[in-house]
Chain A
Amino acid sequence: MNAALSRLDARRAEAAEQFRTLGVPHRRVEAWKYSDLRAVTDAEAISKAGSAQWTIKHGSEGVEFVDLSGGSLPDWVRTHLGTLKSDSALGAASFAFAHSGFALRVPRGKPGEVRVSFASAGQARVLIVLEECASLNYVETVPSDLEGLQNIGMEIRVGDNAHFTHARTALASAKAVQISDIAGTVARNGSYRLYSGAFGAELSRLELKLSLDGEGAEAHLAGVGVLADGTHSDVTTHIVHAAGNTQSTQLFKNVAGGKSRAIYQGKITVAKGANGSDSRQTAKALLLGPRAEADLKPELEIFADDVKCAHGAAVGDLDVDSLFYLRARGIPEAEARNLLIRAFLEEAVEEIANDDIRAALWQAVEDALPRAMESHP
């Protein structure tokens, strides 16, 4: 036990060292080109950010729950915690410095349902393990009244034939710097699904690095962003097709109003030997005003031969032909714009199979749209 504990301590020390070496990312670091974290915080603030408060509901039987701030940790937590790393210094920081967080394990063949809210500034670490044939609906919220720096690091292990649905809604918090860093692995025939609603912060970054490590593993990511004046949202994903016959899709739609900035960076790596892999990526942004900005950056890295990769990105204004068509049929301009913006976003929400999750995310979109559509000179 002491040996295991010391291995955990060693990993933590390593993460602190990694954070020290990498430093706080800034716009000259390619992956952070559009999100200058150094302009809004520094290394000391991050290392001393303290604990983020969270609340959790995990009603389902069979889901094991461990508070990481407690004294003794079970073996499975000590074995896994800190072993999945993202590419980011912030992921290292949340592991090195967070004294708060939790671990969840869904045992073999069991379904689970968990609701989490990260309600305050500070850091937290989350470890989630889905054993073989387990499934989990994980519903995560960041509330709208957040202020200060929040850095949440997540590690996700999806076992053989296990299925993880991750619904994440980060409501608009113009006074917060909100970072979520997720590292994950999906085993044979397992799946990870992300449904993200990002409504912006002073600086907001959702970074996901997911490795499809088992044959037949799948990752499906869909996200909407609705940004009002003065907010920023960066979603950066990296899917690694490490095994053959793996599939991934990424569909991200952003609507940027006022002076706001919407970013999607989507990297796909297909490793050598990962033949039969299939990945599709679509990223689109609508700019509602002359001062709104969108940056979409697809990136493909392919080392295998027999693969399918398709990607497309487009930034624009509402289609003038569509707008005229609707108005010519009697729909007033404001209502027609509204209809077209909703239609644009809906594609990324409609495929959510769970009715409650879909309805909740759509409600957040409806709530955010009026402010995003306000006109700013």
Chain B
Amino acid sequence: MNMLEIKDLHVAVDGKEILKGLSLTVNAGEVHAIMGPNGSGKSTLSYVLAGRAGYEITSGSVTYNGEDLNALAPEERAAKGVFLAMQYPVEIPGVTTMTFLKTALNAQRRARGESDLDALNVLKRVREKAGTLKVSEEMLKRALNVGFSGGEKKRLEILQMALFEPKLAILDETDSGLDIDALKLVAEGVNTLRSPERAMLVITHYQRLLNYIVPDRVHVLSAGRIIREGGKELAHELEAKGYEQIVKDAA
């Protein structure tokens, strides 16, 4: 069974169709890159998979491990192993990062019928992952994402991915706003999470990130549809030719 199967997906936002017949299949153990210019529907795809309100599926289907993903609330998807590393992680004053991590981890565990972990146990797990991602104790004590730099926010997203151990991880423009050192650090974090049981969907505008997270398949998204597919070399072709040429070639 495929882990993720998207068939002829049409999605509208505020009555305007953004995805216009997108099909995509992702299996466990695979890393797929979705590349596309601004406005092609990349973020819409990530939000639809995570279950954000206001993204209406007008036709087509999204199946996750054989289950209709659209029938699940965002929190149910998370508990079943869907994780979206967001392009713009939100700042939440008044909730410390550590409290948030513990609340989220235990909510997911509870939904799966597992027992809650106590604060010490959560802290131990967080610390195990925090070191390599350079997430400091001080960051964990601060309010979630408040006053964090762009790099710190993205590192914390990857820390969550490591902590929650999702089956399907979607990375939405995780490279945006990062300098090269931060990008390498984040990519390393992602690479250590590659495993035969886990699938990843790496959404990006630039080929740069894919030098560090090398995908098995590359899909080019334009105007709400996949117009080209290929191996990792397609990313290099895109970088050399630009989106405009690829779109023309496909037409």
Contact = CB atoms under 8 A, between A and B. Distances in A.
A147 interface: no
Contact of A328 (B74, B92, B93, B105): B74
A229 to B, nearest CB: 25
Interface string B78-96: 1100001010011011110
Interface string B105-147: 1011001000000000000000000000000000000000000
B92 A340 contact: yes
Interface stretch (A116-124, A272-280, A319-327): A319-327
B53 interface: yes
Interface in A326-354: 326-333, 335-336, 339-340, 342-347
Looking at A321, A324, A330, A333, the one whose CB has the most chain B CB atoms below 10 A away is A330
Interface residues of B, number: 27
B164 interface: yes
B94 A344 contact: yes
Given A324-B53, A339-B103, A329 B160 contact: yes
Consensus secondary structure, chain A interface = helix
Given A329-B160, A330-B104, A331-B103, A342 B92 contact: no
A312 to B, nearest CB: 14
A326 B90 CA distance: 9
B52 interface: yes
B180 interface: no
Contact of A325 (B53, B89, B108, B164): B89
Contacts of A320: 53
A120 to B, nearest CB: 37
Contacts of A339: 95, 103
A298 B143 CA distance: 28
A343 B95 contact: yes
Interface size class of A (residues with CB under 8 A): 20 to 34
A369 to B, nearest CB: 14
B75 interface: yes
Contact of A335 (B50, B103, B160): B103
A87 B121 CA distance: 56
Contacts of B100: 326, 329
B224 interface: no
Looking at A340, A343, A347, the one whose CB has the most chain B CB atoms below 10 A away is A343
B94 A329 contact: no
Given A324-B53, A324-B74, A325-B86, A331 B107 contact: yes
Looking at A324, A326, A329, A342, the one whose CB has the most chain B CB atoms below 10 A away is A329
A284 to B, nearest CB: 11
Contacts of A325: 86, 89-90, 92
A328 B94 contact: no
Contact of A327 (B75, B89, B93): B75
Given A324-B74, A335-B103, A329 B92 contact: no
Looking at B73, B77, B94, the one whose CB has the most chain A CB atoms below 10 A away is B94
Contacts of B89: 325
A286 to B, nearest CB: 12
B51 interface: yes
B51 A329 contact: no
A346 B52 CA distance: 27
A330 B94 contact: no
A375 B155 CA distance: 38
Contact of A324 (B52, B104, B111, B164): B52
Interface string A117-150: 0000000000000000000000000000000000
A331 B94 contact: no
Nearest to B99: A339
A343 B93 contact: yes
Given A324-B52, A324-B53, A339-B103, A331 B92 contact: no
A333 B84 CA distance: 17
A343 B93 CA distance: 7
Q: What 8 A-B pairs come out closest when comparing CB atoms?
A: A343-B94, A330-B78, A330-B108, A327-B74, A329-B104, A325-B90, A346-B94, A330-B107
20 contacts: A321-B90, A322-B90, A325-B89, A326-B100, A327-B73, A327-B75, A328-B52, A328-B86, A329-B107, A330-B105, A331-B75, A331-B104, A335-B103, A339-B95, A340-B95, A342-B94, A343-B94, A344-B94, A345-B94, A347-B94
